Amino acid sequence: MPTKGSPDFVRLLIALAVFVGMAGLTMGLRHLAFRALHRWGSRTSTVMDSVIFKSLRLPSIAWCILIGLYSALDQARLPPRPSALALNLVYGLLVLSVTAAIANLSSATLSHTLTEHRLPIPATGLSLMIFKVTIWVLGGLVLLSSLGVSITPILTALGVGGLAVALALQETLSNLFAGLHLLISQPIRVGDFVRLETGLEGYVADIGWRATKLRTLPNNVIVVPNSKMAQSILVNYYLPEPKMAISIQVGTSYNADPEQVERVLLEETSKAIGQVPGLLIEPSPTVRFIPGFGESSLDFTVTCHVRQFEDQYLVQHELRKRILKRFREEGIEIPFPHRIVRLEAAQAGSADRPPRAASAEEAIP
């Protein structure tokens, strides 16, 4: 152990001073670089400054410390074996920190680019995870190769052990490959509104490596395993486009004039265009005498188009109010359901049938 005043002790003090000085200097340069980045971002509308800051904030601190350690080791003049071990440790930490920075920055940049330019590759949790894992694997291989570790036996062992892992993780791998199938074939995309055959429905929030998340209209999240999502029969309300048709059933009295009813329905629907959010002018609304002759009413169907699935609820709400108000102004009756019940009396003196009351007809509302 070096004593006070000995040459070894002096070298340790010098090494410590070099470490503090170099770490402080690089931390100061880091601070100035991030300030310049922030000023550049404030003068432009880009969000890349925020992406770079979040990706490099922690790794850059590690770089400053590692630069100080490397400079201090050069001044400490340790024995060969401890010096080599310390340098390998510093190099390994540097490779890991650089790999983490590249993975975070590349993933964030890829996500921003895919979202901003709406490229065909979806920015989902699974696609970003695959990208980051690939970078980490490459970084690990570079680290092992630089430390003199042969990666050929490792790859061979992974190939032999892959079969056992695949058998043990069948369900996990099934969900992983089902997620890849969803990303490549794109029967659903992030942001689409879908309804499964089980009745579950919601917006696709994310497609992960194990499960797909659906955000329901009440703002809850449904987690569906990718394998079940890939096998399910589903309706995608955003394919081939978000625009969709809705139908409103309207019944009137048999005393109503069908021509008048059709005119009123078309006028009210057309006037609502531009006033009700989500109601589209094209294709034009239509009215059809379908299904037609009901048990107690003449049945009409109003068909119009809305911008997307969620708009249908407000559009139906507003159109029904307008149609009811206009029917009252025009004197068009919306009838109550009714039935005709016939009561007959049995013939007098009949022994095999009970006596019945006199015939009568009554409309029961």
* Terminal Cα-to-Cα distance of the chain (whole angstroms): 105
Q: Using one digit for the tens of pLDDT, what is the confidence trace for 212-263?
A: 999 999 999 999 999 899 888 999 999 889 999 999 999 999 999 999 999 9
Fold of the domain built from segment(s) 241-365: Alpha-Beta Plaits (3.30.70)
Name the least confident of 45-59, 169-183, 235-249, 341-355: 341-355
For residue 202, what pLDDT band results from cuts at 50, 70 and 90?
very high
Are the C-beta atoms of residues 193 and 308 closer than 8 Å to each other?
yes
Question: Around Cβ 101, how many Cβ atoms within 10 Å?
Answer: 19
Element (H, E) at 205: strand 201-207
Determine the pLDDT at residue 359: 39
Could you give the CA distance from residue 217 to residue 225 in angstroms, rounded to a whole number? Answer: 20
Could you give the CA distance from residue 308 to residue 139 in angstroms, rounded to a whole number? Answer: 45
Question: Which residue in 265, 208, 196, 262 sits closest to 232, CA to CA?
Answer: 196
pTM of the model: 0.57
Q: Using one digit for the tens of pLDDT, what is the confidence trace for 83-104?
A: 777 777 777 788 888 888 888 7
Task: Give the residue, 285 or 27, on which the prediction is more confident.
Answer: 285
Could you give the CA distance from residue 90 to residue 118 in angstroms, rounded to a whole number? Answer: 41
Task: For domain 172-236, give its CATH number from 3.30.70.20, 2.30.30.60, 3.40.190.10, 2.40.50.100.
Answer: 2.30.30.60
Are the C-beta atoms of residues 276 and 319 closer than 8 Å to each other?
yes
Token couple for 202: 């919601």
Could you give the CA distance from residue 70 to residue 23 in angstroms, rounded to a whole number? Answer: 10
pLDDT of residue 275 exceeding 50, the answer is yes
Q: Which residues pair with 214 in a beta bridge?
A: 204, 222
Q: 152: which residues sit within 8 A by CB, 6+ positions away?
A: none
* Sheet containing strand 221-225, strands side by side: 221-225, 211-215, 201-207, 193-196, 234-236
Mean pLDDT of the 272-277 span = 92
* Cis previous bond, 283, omega within 30: yes
Q: Using one digit for the tens of pLDDT, what is the confidence trace for 68-78?
A: 887 777 766 67
Determine the pLDDT at residue 365: 44
